[in-house]
Structure 1
Amino acid sequence: MTHDHPAAPDRGASRPFGRLLTAMVTPFTPDGSLDLDGAVRLAQHLVDEQGNDALVLNGTTGESPTTTDAEKEALIRAVAAAVGDRARIVAGVGTNDTRHTIELAMSAEKAGAHGLLVVTPYYNKPPQSGLLRHFTAVADATGLPIMLYDIPGRSGVPIATETLVKLAEHGRIVAVKDAKGDLTATSWVLARSDLAYYSGEDALTLPALAVGGVGLVGTSTHFTGALAKQLIEAYDAGDTATALSLHRRLLPLFTGIFRTQGTILVKAGLAAKGLPAGPVRPPLVDATTDELAQLRADCAAAGLELPE
């Protein structure tokens, strides 16, 4: 499964989840309960209007820390039934408990997910040997392809290069959502494995492509999806000038969506556009008037309109 020497990625064959994925928010009703009808409408918008090849459900942007296991399964079933014929459904199943993660993985597979996103166990800060055992145990327990989620800013522990290269030997561990922000480390993993790397930071999409990445798992892509996909396709076609132009155009929103916690601003922006979103669940808080005004300014700077 690993390459002995650095090799240029075969972009046609090494995109297990396509080019563009959005980590979808989970719509709630005004009283804070799960809005499955809204989730279906939002998923259809993201796939049919924003060009997403796949959707990540039950990620952090989907408020997975505050949704129940039953809600997670219901969300996967509803969205997979609605758009699973034209987009891949990647279910976030990662927790800091290996047994619970395996339970969520098995539930997601039964509910119709096409792949799994498994984040580094957070807070308990396992050693690299623990990460290797955790990810391998999840991969052994399911038949679905797995995208590892390397985000030390949230988890507290990076997945080391040697650990990633070792995990790449597992037939079902096929991709990484890379939010480490270390393109040198990314480059070393790509030179020594056949893992498909997706940028986990919107603004690093183009730099990640330049070192061999294959796409983006985005947050601002609730709004920028169609243009972000154009960026990736332009780079693939060798039109780096267009890719750079789009990167610079979208930078205000690629970064602005994270001025506060990303879910908060995405839900505020979706509501302004008349799309399903609803409130956030505590401990998150809904966007302030000033935060929404700043989001409108960031959208305008990227050439995108957010209605008043």
Structure 2
Amino acid sequence: MSDTNFGRALCAMVTPFTEAGDIDLDAARELADRLVTEGCEGLVLSGTTGESPTTTDAEKAELVRAVREATDGRAAVLTGVGTADTRHTLDLARQAQQAGADGLLAAPPYYSRPPQDAVEAHFRALADATDLPVMLYDIPARTGTRIEPDTLLRLAEHPRIVAVKDCAYDLLGTQKVMAATDLAYYTGCDEYVLALYALGGAGHVSTVANVVPGAFRAIVDAYDAGDTTAAARHQQRTIPLTELMMGSELPGTVTVKALLAALGLPGGGTVRAPLRPACRDAVDGLLAAYEALVSAA
């Protein structure tokens, strides 16, 4: 476990929008308060689930300020600053620090597919740009570029590069880095929450936790209490909902917002183009899986 102070149970929070498509800061405050009240120890804003490619720099900063206000020190607030342009990423990092973020989340520059020496230089420049700790986001399926284990080993030497959100689906490589560094590893894959935690991971950054934060908090709580059987049971009962929300053709952002709206919870509803809302059949399936999970608690 690391002393990054990000917590164990983190949520990759959606960015609420009004029906007109504007950012809804009141809904963001309500959602953030609910997530923390129900078990989240940290909130990660403006990531994949937060529709960061479609929000402006100003909206990203407004979101940090609104969530900090709503959580009032009860949870760590991290924000995504990854872009395809190093200069833009550094600007977003400085803006995030001014807005009051506790940490930065950054994936490799996408589309240009830089080689590993360029990826390393990009992240070192980011870590030098502010005083904030950095969580690297290894998600090659989205960016087209892996943060290779050997690159992570070198980046771990930087004092402000402290954590990894791991969506690489390379458990061997992950363990290699965990064994050789003090990086705090967080799974970004909801089906691996217990597996990575049991291997010495720091926790999770969950998308499905937007809907059921307590269900994912229960996994790490049970494990920390020494009840591995209960931890496994808690993990297993989340799988049907996780499969529908994260394993279907619909992006997690779409399924989260559809289910939140169907349940009358803050943060649901509108997604920004090019994403489109879920159809009725998908919503019905999500509701059935949610109700089964809640009834099994």
TM range, smaller chain: over 0.9
Contact 2:210-2:256 at 8 Å conserved across structures: yes
Q: What is the correspondence of 1:210-225 to structure 2 with a 5 Å cutoff?
A: 210-225=198-213
Look up the match of 1:117: 105
Deviates more, 1:281-290 or 1:205-214: 205-214
> Which shifted more, 295-304 or 163-172?
295-304
Tell me, yes or no, if structure 1 residue 207 matches structure 2 residue 195. yes
Contact 2:4 2:162 in 1 (8 A): no
User: Partners in 2 of 1:302 and 1:278 — Cα distance?
Assistant: 22
Report the counterpart of residue 274 of structure 2 in structure 1: 283
Q: Residues of 2 paired with 1:229 and 1:83: CA distance? A: 17
State the alpha-carbon separation in 2 of the partners of residues 149 and 240 from structure 1.
Answer: 28
Q: Hey, what's the Cα distance between the residues in 2 that align with 1:246 and 1:207?
A: 12
* 1:292 pairs with one of 280, 283, 294: 283
* Residue 240 of structure 1: how far off its partner (Å): 0.9
Q: 1:115: how far off?
A: 0.4
Q: Is 1:41 the counterpart of 2:30 in the alignment?
A: yes
Alignment of 1:95-244 (within 5 A): 95-244=83-232
> After the TM superposition, which residues 268-279 of structure 1 pair with which residues of structure 2 at under 5 Å, given as runs?
268-276=258-266, 277-279=268-270
Give, in angstroms, the shift of residue 72 of structure 1.
0.8
Shift of 1:15: 4.8
Q: Per the alignment, in what secondary structure is the counterpart of residue 211 of structure 2?
A: helix
CA distance in 1, matches of 2:284, 2:263: 14
Name the residue aligned to 1:4.
none
TM-score, normalised relative to structure 1: 0.92
Q: Distance in 2 between matches of 1:226 and 1:304?
A: 13
Partner of 1:264: 254
Which moves more between the two structures, 159-168 or 291-300?
A: 291-300
Unaligned ranges ≥5, structure 2:
none
1:162 Cα deviation (Å)? 0.8
What is the CA–CA distance in structure 2 between the aligned matches of 1:225 and 1:254, rounded to whole Å? 12
CA spacing shift, 1:114–1:128, aligned 2, 3 Å: same
Counterpart contact for 1:183–1:211, Cα < 8 Å: no
Q: Contact between 1:32 and 1:278, CA under 8 Å: does it hold in 2?
A: no
Residue of structure 2 in register with 1:7 after alignment: none
**Two-structure CA RMSD over aligned residues (Å):** 1.3
Among 2, 8, 32, the residue aligned to 1:19: 8
50, 73, 85: which one pairs with 1:85?
73
* More displaced 10-residue stretch of structure 1: 249-258 or 179-188: 249-258
Q: CA deviation at 1:237?
A: 2.5
Structure 2 CA distance for partners of 1:304 and 1:151, relative to 1, 3 Å: farther
Farther-moved stretch of structure 1 (121-130 vs 13-22): 13-22
Say if 1:123 and 1:155, in contact at 8 Å, map to a contact too: yes
SS class of match (1:221) = helix
Taking the aligned partners of 1:211 and 1:171, their CA distance within structure 2 comes to 23
Give the secondary structure class of the aligned counterpart of 1:303.
helix
Aligned with 1:148: secondary structure?
A: strand
In structure 2, the CA distance between the partners of 1:99 and 1:203, relative to structure 1 (3 Å rule), is: same
Name the counterpart of 2:233: 245
Rounded Cα–Cα distance in structure 1 between residues aligned with 2:111 and 2:208 = 26
Residue 20 of structure 2 corresponds to residue 31 of structure 1 = yes
Return the offset for 1:16. Answer: 2.9
Q: Distance in 1 between matches of 2:283 and 2:173?
A: 36
Matched residue pairs, number?
293
Given that 1:202 and 1:218 are in contact with CA atoms closer than 8 Å, whether structure 2 keeps it comes out as yes
Name the CA distance, whole Å, in 1 between partners of 2:204 and 2:53. Answer: 23
1:255 and 2:243 correspond: yes
Q: TM-score, normalised by structure 2?
A: 0.96
Q: Structure 1: 5+ residue runs without aligned partners?
A: 1-10
1:30 CA drift (Å):
0.8
Structure-2 separation of matches of 1:272 and 1:160:
40
- For residues 74 and 257 of structure 2, the distance between their equivalents in structure 1, rounded to whole angstroms, comes to 24
2:95 counterpart letter in structure 1: S
Q: Percent sequence identity over matched residues? A: 52
1:217-246 deviation line (CA, Å, top 9, x unaligned) = 000001221121111121122211111111
